[in-house]
């Protein structure tokens, strides 16, 4: 696929097969197109005026860019977690119940079950179970980010997109999110933008290296970091530029 913002081409013939139930890290210097690619996966770019996309991106056999595709349904299946935790200004419970409610679930017992399972899935249940009515904004940054992951899980997606999910967090919260991502990959396919090479090495199974809109190299993380095929990948991962 290719993507342009007006005259500027941000993605050039990106051809990549994302593996299920694993973590794929998208790495590369600022402005190389990582976030643009990530956002394309659940059509978050559609909102930007002047965007032009060519080619296709297949999810369960269907082209994500097909104008007939139900975007709400796509985003239910392909959830997203942003760089800065962005809980809604409402209670912890309502943050999690929000998505399921918009999909028509009204039973209190069912919502209670979803809230509990989602918070457990995001490894934050024990910290909040006695305070579900408390405002989500009263949580720490790291807790807010796990809450946002729980919110994404509540609508039962199968893919989770994460755009630098730990860049606004302290080291302890970061390692919690990393541990969580490693646990979640048994059930979900995770695609994560990261600027942190160590993070990519620690938790990802596959790594894609982008440079100026091109996908330079893609493969198993260990191979990319130990024996990069391309000189530009090597220069980047050894910190020679970017």
**Residues making contact with ligand ATP (CB under 6 A):** 5, 8, 10, 28, 30-36, 48
CB of 52 to ligand ATP, least distance (A): 12
Q: Which is nearer to ligand ATP, 34 or 75 (CB)?
A: 34
What angle do the packed helices 92-102 and 141-153 form, to 10 degrees?
A: 20
Q: Which is nearer to ligand ATP, 1 or 119 (CB)?
A: 1
8-state DSSP, 83: S
State both tokens at 28: 């590369």
Q: Which is nearer to ligand ATP, 36 or 143 (CB)?
A: 36
Residues with Cβ < 8 Å from 47, sequence gap 6 or more?
A: none
Residues with Cβ < 8 Å from 131, sequence gap 6 or more?
A: 92
Q: Is 135 helix (H, G, I), strand (E, B) or coil?
A: strand
Q: Which is nearer to ligand ATP, 94 or 164 (CB)?
A: 164
CB of 121 to ligand ATP, least distance (A): 27
CB of 8 to ligand ATP, least distance (A): 6
CA nearest to 55, candidates 102, 12, 9, 117? 12
CB of 33 to ligand ATP, least distance (A): 4
């Amino acid at each position: 696929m290719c993507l342009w913002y007006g005259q500027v081409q941000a993605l050039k013939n990106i051809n990549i097969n994302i593996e299920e139930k694993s973590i794929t890290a998208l790495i590369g210097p600022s402005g190389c197109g990582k976030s643009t690619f990530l956002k394309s996966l659940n059509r978050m770019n559609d909102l930007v005026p002047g965007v032009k996309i060519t080619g296709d991106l297949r999810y369960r056999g269907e082209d994500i860019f097909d104008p007939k595709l139900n975007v709400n349904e796509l985003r239910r299946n392909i959830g997203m977690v942003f760089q800065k935790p962005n809980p809604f200004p409402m209670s912890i419970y309502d943050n999690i119940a929000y998505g399921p409610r918009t999909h028509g679930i009204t039973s209190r017992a069912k919502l209670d079950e979803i809230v509990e399972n989602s918070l457990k899935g995001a490894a934050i249940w024990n910290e909040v179970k006695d305070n579900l009515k408390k405002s989500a904004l009263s949580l720490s940054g790291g807790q807010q980010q796990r809450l946002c992951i729980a919110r994404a899980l509540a609508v039962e997606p199968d893919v989770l997109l994460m755009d630098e999910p730990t860049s606004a967090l302290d080291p302890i919260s970061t390692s919690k999110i990393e541990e969580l991502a490693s646990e979640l990959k048994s059930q979900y396919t995770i695609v994560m933008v990261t600027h942190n090479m160590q993070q990519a090495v620690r938790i990802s199974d596959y790594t894609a290296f982008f440079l100026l809109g091109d996908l330079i190299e893609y493969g198993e993380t260990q191979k990319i970091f130990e024996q990069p095929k391309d000189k530009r990948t090597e220069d980047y991962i050894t910190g020679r530029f970017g």
